[in-house]
């Protein structure tokens, strides 16, 4: 499934480009640069960390199926496999409904899922803004399927459900045919789910079949124009902070609870309860936008993102062949890169030296990898990486130290 996601990445960028063109011709602005890059960087982090977490989750599932499956299902019969695949999809989607609902109703799971809802835009890049840890909190709910469903079927269904949810993150599609809207999740239904309008909060949890929301009383049609984002607390462009900040807030809430049991059960209470506990914390930190960076630095971040996206595809495709050292080093460098891009977009100048360190480390790590593992490509990699690295370093230093220093001198004069 990881290789499928690697090949899907160009498709994601193509469809995002189409959505941009649709917005241009319709005179609608679907994208904000800082938000879109942050969404995509968080998605890159999710895919990278997912390479590790999926090994653990699928390993646990496979172990249960191997030793505790109630019976063996022949996978060479196309009719049996097709029927089982459809049945698994329906059951999986029902479990997903509850996993997603708990992701909104339990603080411990909302802390992982909240990152997907932080964007105040709604477009295809938001679909890729996936949690780094939510599946790790919820995968236990799907383990009973291992008593019947082979791992191969489960992996295929999981991939389908994941990809299905991509296209529903858009404002470019208004409504689907009525019969489709009644049965399936659609962009209209999912816009409601991402909205902060009071009547829309905690509605439309479905992945594929909106029937689950109709059945369990959480369905809400789109009537009023949705306002996106979360109700309190977050404006950071730092992907690491975006994934972790809620647990800091939970810790603050736990300090205010008396007794171990109340502190423990805070994990299973809702965000509204936690918000009441730490209302003073939220009101003391009003939302504020990051100081804008100039066009040249936005272009710089875009180029670093493109290089990172190419690196991610290669990293996914070669992950199983890499040594433990290069798996960990590659994951660390990817996280370092997306976090540094966040610092740049937030104009956090005190942390800018980290970007220069990152550029040096990236060149050293990449060339060490190719020298040891892919020598036939080493010379080309050396030339390209050094050229891009030196160019990026001088560009970054010029924009943020030489040019900025000259600007300060002129303003003082």
Give this prediction's pTM. 0.92
Whether pLDDT at 371 is above 90: no
Reduced 3-state DSSP string for the chain: CHHHHHHHHHHHHHHHHHHHHHHHHCCCCCCCHHHHHHHHHHHHHHHHHHHHHHHHHHHHHHHHHHHHCCCCCCCCCHHHHHHHHHHHHHHHHHHHHHHHHHHHHCHHHHHHHHHHHCCCCCCHHHHCCCCCCHHHHHHHHHHHHHHCCCHHHHHHHHHHHHHHCCCCCCCCCCCCCHHHHHHECCHHHHHHHHECCHHHCCCCCCCCECHHHHHHCCCCCCCCCCCECCCCCCCCCCHHHHHHHHHHHHHHHHHHCCCHHHHHHHHHCCHHHHHHHCHHHHHCCCCCCCCCCCHHHHHHHHHHHHHHHHHHHHHHHHHHHCCHHHHHHHHHHHHHHHHHHHHHHCCCHHHCHHHHHHHHHHHHHHHHHHHHHCHHHHHHHHHHHHHHHHHHHHHHHHHHHHHHHHHHHHHHC
Whether pLDDT at 412 is above 50: no
Mean pLDDT of the chain: 92
Residue ranges of domains in the chain: 2-216, 239-283, 295-412
Portion of the chain with pLDDT greater than 70, in percent = 95
Portion of the chain with pLDDT greater than 90, in percent = 80
Q: What pLDDT is stored for residue 413 in this prediction?
A: 43
Whether pLDDT at 290 is above 80: no
């Amino acid at each position: 499934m990881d290789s499928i996601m690697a090949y899907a990445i160009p498709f994601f960028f193509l469809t995002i480009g189409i959505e941009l063109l649709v917005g241009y011709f319709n005179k609608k602005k679907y994208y904000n640069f800082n938000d879109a890059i942050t969404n995509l960087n968080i998605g890159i982090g999710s895919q990278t960390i997912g390479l590790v977490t999926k090994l653990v989750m699928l390993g646990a599932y496979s172990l249960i199926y191997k030793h505790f499956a109630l019976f063996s299902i022949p996978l060479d019969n196309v009719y049996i496999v097709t029927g089982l695949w459809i049945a698994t999809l329906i059951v999986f989607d029902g479990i997903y409904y509850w996993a997603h609902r708990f992701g909104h109703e339990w603080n411990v799971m909302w802390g992982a899922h909240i990152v997907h809802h932080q964007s105040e835009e709604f477009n295809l890049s938001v679909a890729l803004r996936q949690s780094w840890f939510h599946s790790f909190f919820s995968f236990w709910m799907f383990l009973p399927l291992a008593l019947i469903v082979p791992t191969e079927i489960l992996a295929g269904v999981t991939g389908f459900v994941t990809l299905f949810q991509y296209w529903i993150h858009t404002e470019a599609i208004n409504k689907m045919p009525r019969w489709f809207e009644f049965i399936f999740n659609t962009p209209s239904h999912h816009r409601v789910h991402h909205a902060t309008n009071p009547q829309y909060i905690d509605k439309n949890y479905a992945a594929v079949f909106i029937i689950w929301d109709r059945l369990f009383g959480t369905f809400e049609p789109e009537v009023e124009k949705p306002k996106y984002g979360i109700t309190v607390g977050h404006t950071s462009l730092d992907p690491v902070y975006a994934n972790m900040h809620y647990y800091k807030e939970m810790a603050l809430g736990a300090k205010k609870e008396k007794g171990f049991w109340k502190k423990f059960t805070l994990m299973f209470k809702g965000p509204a309860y936690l918000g009441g506990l730490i209302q003073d914390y939220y009101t003391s930190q009003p939302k504020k936008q990051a100081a804008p960076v100039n066009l040249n630095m936005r272009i710089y971040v875009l180029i670093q993102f493109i290089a990172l996206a190419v690196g991610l595809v290669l990293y996914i495709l070669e992950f199983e062949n890499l040594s433990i050292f290069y798996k960990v080093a590659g994951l660390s460098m990817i996280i370092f890169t997306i976090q540094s891009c966040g610092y740049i977009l937030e104009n956090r100048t005190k942390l800018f030296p980290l970007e220069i360190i990152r550029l040096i480390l990236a060149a050293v790590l990449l060339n060490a990898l190719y020298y040891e593992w892919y020598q036939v490509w080493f010379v080309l990699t050396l030339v390209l990486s050094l050229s891009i690295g030196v160019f990026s370093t001088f560009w970054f230093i010029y924009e943020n130290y030489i040019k900025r220093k000259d600007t300060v001198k002129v303003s003082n004069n």
